[in-house]
Amino acid sequence: MKINKKLEPVVSGLSAATVIGILAFLTLRTTSGLWLMFSFGATVFIVFVLYNLETAQPKNIFFGHLVSVLVGIIFNETVGFSFLALGLSVGFAVTLMVYLKVMHPPAASNPLVVLFSDVSFEYILFPVILGSLVIIIMSIFINRIILKRKYPTKRFWLY
């Protein structure tokens, strides 16, 4: 079923709401831990509206969030909270994402979240890894199966 162009924004919004709703439910109604972080809001915008861009592809989502959170945690554990750490951690995360070819703009905010929230290494599993995987799985299902879009755009997601 091809989505009418006039309805596409509504469908994209409902898709984003569904994925964030699932992550919110898992965070608020289960005892497993955090599944949601602020940058995921921008991530679902990208995967349901700008799904054909390189930055919306699963590899970029997963590794972009992972790299930037690791940078934030390393700065939090070594430098601590300061204006210098806030600026340098974001700059370093952006630089690494570009060099590693895992650019995902929403992930650039992750070091800020880490430093302001004073989280540590357990934040990598919940919400970063598991939350990113839920977004990727749901975006593939919704984009490919329900919306009949070509997503991901590459056959092999890790290159």
In the structure, what pLDDT confidence band is assigned to residue 4 with cuts at 50, 70 and 90? confident
Of 120, 119, 64, the closest CA to residue 94 belongs to 64
Is pLDDT above 70 for 107?
yes
pLDDT tens digits, 10-64: 999 999 999 999 999 999 998 888 899 999 999 999 999 999 999 999 999 999 9
Is 45 domain-assigned? yes
Report helix, strand or coil for 12: helix
Is pLDDT above 70 for 1?
no
In the structure, what pLDDT confidence band is assigned to residue 133 with cuts at 50, 70 and 90? very high
| Structural domain range at position 111 | 8-146
CA 73, 76, 82, 88 torsion: positive or negative? negative
8-29 vs 130-140: helix crossing angle, rounded to 10: 150
> Alpha-carbon distance 23 to 74, whole Å?
26
Is 153 domain-assigned? no
Position 85 scores a pLDDT of 98
Position 32 scores a pLDDT of 83
Position 154 scores a pLDDT of 81
Is 133 domain-assigned? yes
Is 31 domain-assigned? yes
Report helix, strand or coil for 3: coil
Predicted structure pTM score = 0.94
Is 2 domain-assigned? no
Q: Which residue shows structure tokens 């709703």?
A: 21
- For residue 51, the one-letter residue type is Y
**Cis preceding linkage at 9, omega within 30:** no
28 touches 140 (CB < 8 A): no
Structure tokens that stand for 1 in this block: 């079923």
Is pLDDT above 80 for 117?
yes
Three state DSSP letters for 56-85: HCHHHHHHHHHHHHHHHHHHHHHCCCCHHH
Position 158 scores a pLDDT of 58
CA distances from 23 to 33, 64, 112, 147 (A): 11, 19, 21, 21
Is 117 domain-assigned? yes
Quick one: the chain helix, strand, coil %, rounded to 5? 70, 0, 30
Is 3 domain-assigned? no
Is 158 domain-assigned? no
pLDDT tens digits, 69-92: 999 999 999 999 999 999 999 999
Of 88, 128, 126, the closest CA to residue 104 belongs to 128
Give the number of domains in the chain. 1
